[in-house]
Amino acid sequence: MPAQVILTVTSGKMDRPQFVFAERTTSILGRDDDCDPRVSNDKEHLSISRLHCLLDVNPPDIRVRDLGSKHGTFVNGVKIGQRTSEDQRGKPLFPEHDLQEGDELRLGDPADGNPIVFWVSVFVPVYCAGCSCEILEDSQQLAEQSPGVLLCQPCYHKARTAPPQEPPRPQGRRCVRCGRDVSGEAGANRQGEFICAACKGDPLPIMRHLLDLAQSGQKDLRILQGYSILRELGRGGMGAVYLARHERSGEEVALKVMLPRIALQERARDLFLREAENTRALKHPNVVRLRDAGCSQGTFFFTLEYCDGGSVDRLVKQRGGRLATDEAVPIILQVLVGLEYAHNVELPGVKLADGSSAPARGLVHRDLKPANIFLSESDGQRVAKVGDYGLAKAFDLAGLSGQSATGAAAGTPVFLPRQQVVNFKYCQPEVDVWATAASLYYMLTGAVPRDFGEGRDPWQVVLQTGAVPIRRRDPSLPTKLAEVIDQALIDNPGIPFKTAADFQRALESVL
């Protein structure tokens, strides 16, 4: 059984008495129709804001973030946030708090109406330090080998009959790369392979080490055999991408490394690799080809088609901050062709959780942005390709990004439509269409569609505001083109262009 976070309603009206989170997700609590969990929208609960707070859940971890609620969010009776929360300089705050077993989470102040109260409980599975199998709760007392180290019955018997030796260390408490103690980093409730922050700070030595092991014939690294790194292509919060060459064939590839922010367990590893394997079926001139994927020593690695023209966000910088219409729109039209293919491709052998496979149709990217649009050249013509297809979102869905909506590591959701903030797993093709329109908006203006001003909660901005009409950013843009882009960036209550082909036709009609 996976780790779980359970919120039990102890006071107030909700559509369910209990909410169980067993997977990575974010959730908005409040009276709005889109909220889940949703508070009863009657006079009794008017002290609860329509969009009251955000839950960032990665079991067994859960964090609550007040969204500027009118009457406050409270943990164990202590207010963590409210609309008037400010720092010493008067700057608005959007406080967050990590919830623990036994905490009381309250939405609203009893003095201002009837609040909603939850009791927080957390279930954490316990694994054998010898073979990593789960130890059931009724067996844990008998399984303790030494403080903090539990063994299943077979491993416990083996340890008792074996010659005396140093007791096994708890899993996930040593960096698999350097051996440093990571008890303070890995989290008290997590087991599995873990790479310390110091090693993650420079992924290149990690990648070189794996390449050396691959040369020696290590089985789980066979896809890396024969490659050597030429230079770094880019780096992000989860790892880096390198240009690599195969020594025998001379072929160049993009070698991507992704480093989890949490201890890596087998279930999360298999979930992510299964999603990555599905994207290997994508074969189209406007989609970056994923060749191979693997994992070793807490590190994921991929060999991808190399695009020598770089990414669109870099092109925008090279052009001084924006692209001309006759350069930006052709790139986006090619992106839409690639998306239309990917959204409708027949997938004959999608990997399922039980190890079997089944046919399926279409894949949604869910993280499209200028940094994920790449350029190359074919027969003297520029070719735009959708890259990183589904990898970043699958990484997050598997919980490997940690709590990516809150905390110091959280980014600003500038290329996300409202649907993906309200519903973490929302994966209709239209979210990619919206993100493509947002990318075009950025390419033409050098600005993102929404105004994320200082002192505004970025999640609240996405939930409550729409895109700024593009001609306010640049009045010189053609009126008909601007109207199509503005229409494509509507996301409340719904996204008008449901398919990439719809948006493509609309753009072509105004050129």
* Nearest to 195, CA basis, from 214, 217, 180: 180
DSSP 9-34: EEES-BSSSEEEE-S-EEEEEBSSTT
Q: What is the CATH number of the domain that holds 47?
A: 2.60.200.20
Predicted pLDDT at 111: 82
Out of 104, 123, 142, a domain closes at 123
Which phi and psi angles does 509 have, rounded to 5°? -70, -20
d(CA 229, CA 95): 43
Residue 36 pLDDT greater than 60, yes or no: yes
Are 326 and 353 within one domain?
yes
Could you tell me which residues come within 8 angstroms of residue 466 by beta carbon, excluding any fewer than 6 positions away?
450, 489, 490, 491, 492
The answer to whether residues 324 and 461 belong to one domain is yes
Q: 142: domain range?
A: 133-186
CATH number at residue 363: 1.10.510.10
Residue 202 covered by a domain: no
Q: Is 160 found in the same domain as 53? A: no
pLDDT of 172 > 50? The answer is: no
Choose the weakest-confidence range: 100-109, 125-134, 416-425. 125-134
Would 353 be classed as within a structural domain?
yes
Angstrom distance (rounded) from CA 316 to CA 324: 10
Tell me, what's the pLDDT at 171? Answer: 47
Q: What is the pLDDT of residues 332-388, one digit of tens each?
A: 999 999 999 999 998 876 666 666 677 788 999 999 999 999 999 988 899 999 999
Backbone angles phi, psi at 343, to 5 degrees: -70, -15
pLDDT of 169 above 70: no
Residue 109 has pLDDT above 90, yes or no: no
What is the structure's pLDDT at 5?
96
Q: How many domains does the chain have?
A: 3
Whether 325 is covered by a domain: the verdict is yes
Decide if 503 is inside a domain.
yes
Q: Is the pLDDT of residue 290 over 80?
A: yes
The reply to whether 317 and 442 lie within a common domain is yes
Cβ atoms within 10 Å of 412's Cβ, excluding its own = 13
Residue 170 scores a pLDDT above 60: no
- Would residue 199 count as lying in a domain? no
Side chain identity at 379, as an amino acid letter? D
pLDDT above 60 for 140: no
Please tell me whether residues 137 and 117 are part of one structural domain.
Answer: no
pLDDT at 499 over 70: yes
In this prediction, residue 400 carries a pLDDT of: 92
- The Cα–Cα gap between 68 and 462 comes to 14
The reply to whether 88 and 23 lie within a common domain is yes
pLDDT band per the 50, 70, 90 thresholds, residue 161: confident
Q: By three-state DSSP, how is residue 163 classified?
A: coil
Question: Is 241 inside any structural domain?
Answer: no
CA distance 172 to 156: 20
Domain match, 117 and 156 both: no
| Domain membership flag for residue 192 | no
Amino acid type, 231:
R
Is residue 299 in a domain?
A: no
Give per-residue pLDDT as tens, 75-101. Answer: 999 999 887 656 555 555 678 999 999
What are the Cα distances from residue 382, in Å, to 253, 335, 450? 19, 12, 30
- Which pTM was predicted? 0.90
Neighbouring-strand partners of residue 98: 63
Boundary of a domain, candidates 75, 96, 123? 123
Q: Are residues 113 and 161 in the same domain?
A: no
Assess contact for 47 and 69: CB atoms under 8 A: no
Q: What is the pLDDT of residue 337?
A: 98
- State the pLDDT at residue 282: 93
Q: Are residues 368 and 504 in the same domain?
A: yes
pLDDT greater at residue 464 or residue 169: 464
Q: What is the pLDDT of residue 472?
A: 97
Q: Does the structure show a pLDDT above 60 at 141? A: no
The torsion defined by the Cα of 367, 258, 230 and 314, in degrees rounded to 10, comes to: 30
Residues 459 and 327 in one domain: yes
- Of 172-176, 394-398, 403-407, where does mean pLDDT reach its minimum? 172-176
My answer on whether 35 and 149 are in the same domain is no
Which residue, of 100, 123, 146, is where some domain finishes? 123
What mean pLDDT value characterizes the chain?
88
DSSP secondary structure string for all residues of 381-440: EEEEEE-STTHHHHHHHTTTT-STTSSTT----TT--HHHHH-TT---HHHHHHHHHHHH
Other beta carbons less than 10 A from residue 455's beta carbon: 10
Spatial distance between the Cα atoms of 329 and 340, rounded to a whole number of angstroms: 16
Name the band, by pLDDT with cuts 50, 70 and 90, for residue 506.
very high
Query: Residues of the chain with pLDDT > 90: what percent?
Result: 62
Q: Is the pLDDT of residue 147 over 70?
A: no
Same domain, 391 and 444: yes
DSSP notation for 281-303: T---TTBPPEEEEEEETTEEEEE
Helix H or strand E encompassing 335: helix 325-344
